[in-house]
Amino acid sequence: MLRAMKRTFVLVSALLLTSLLPSSLAAGVAEVKKKGVLVLGTDPTFQPFEFKGTDGTIQGFDIDIAKAVAADLGVKLQIQAVGFGALMPQAVTSGRVDMAMSGITITPERAKVVSFSAPYYRSAQVFIVRAGNPGKFGWPADVKGKTIGVQANTTGQFAAEDSLKPKGATIKVYDDFAAGLADVRAGRIAALIGDAPTVSDLSRRLPGQFAQAGQALVAEDYGAVFKKGSDLAAAADKTLARLKASGEYQKLLDKWIVQK
């Protein structure tokens, strides 16, 4: 409870601080149309939602959706790579970006300071272990005395602090998800928490190295993120509805996401 209050405090202070800044950068449909660009903030270390391809371009499921939102608004999409810690919510509340898509989980706490689109992807936080699960890691079996890795500022970290720490687990926080994976591979941590679709993708790209263990910790939904109250959220909802109705959404799922 205390932890949740602290997180809310951090989020709300971010909002208060940025509300003191000039509001000329306020991101709404009219402003975006006037600029002719929609600036998307994303942390491209999250394949298949956003990642750098071999040619260096940022691509993925979220990027294709953001491109469709920009196209429906009649503007160009400009992509800014922002680390997840800075993206949520500061890059949005400060107006540095008009929109954030980065496999971002909709949570009531985040919704106090930013506006979310309708949910567009059902996900879950799951445990990643070394292939074969040599440490016999299990959840919800006892996690007492185990060290579990999480990525900073993610819902995986929040869930671990709320549900695993009270059960005696040690939580190790990584800024870089890849560093956590390296520690799983080396057996330095019992498990790393990650988003289910990125773990399936990992198993496809690096077969025989990692596996999912135990049940999912928590189910969640992804949303696109905007400045609080921005009418861009409704614009994104319209695009999402159009993509779903036309079958394009399903095509994007088939193109990018490993279906289990």
* Closest separation in Å from C-beta 107 to ligand ARG: 8
Q: Which residue has the tokens 């999480």?
A: 150
Query: 228 and 115 in contact (C-beta within 8 Å)?
Result: yes
Identity of the residue, 104 or 240, whose beta carbon is nearer to ligand ARG in the bound complex? 104
Under the criterion CB under 6 A, does residue 90 sit at the interface with ligand ARG? no
- 3-state secondary structure at position 72: helix
Which residues touch 182 (CB under 8 Å, ≥6 apart)? none
In the list 154, 212, 230, 239, the residue contacting ligand ARG (rule: CB under 6 A) is: 154
Site stretch for ligand ARG (CB under 6 A), options 21-29, 98-106, 199-207, 237-245: 98-106
Identity of the residue, 12 or 26, whose beta carbon is nearer to ligand ARG in the bound complex? 12
* Closest separation in Å from C-beta 182 to ligand ARG: 16
CA dihedral (257, 118, 51, 248) positive or negative: positive
Site stretch for ligand ARG (CB under 6 A), options 38-46, 127-135, 168-176, 230-238: 38-46
Site stretch for ligand ARG (CB under 6 A), options 92-100, 103-111, 138-146, 252-260: 103-111
Under the criterion CB under 6 A, does residue 201 sit at the interface with ligand ARG? no
* Closest separation in Å from C-beta 100 to ligand ARG: 9
CA–CA distances in Å: residue 50 to residues 64, 132, 176, 204: 9, 28, 15, 16
Residue 89 preceded by cis peptide, ω within 30: yes
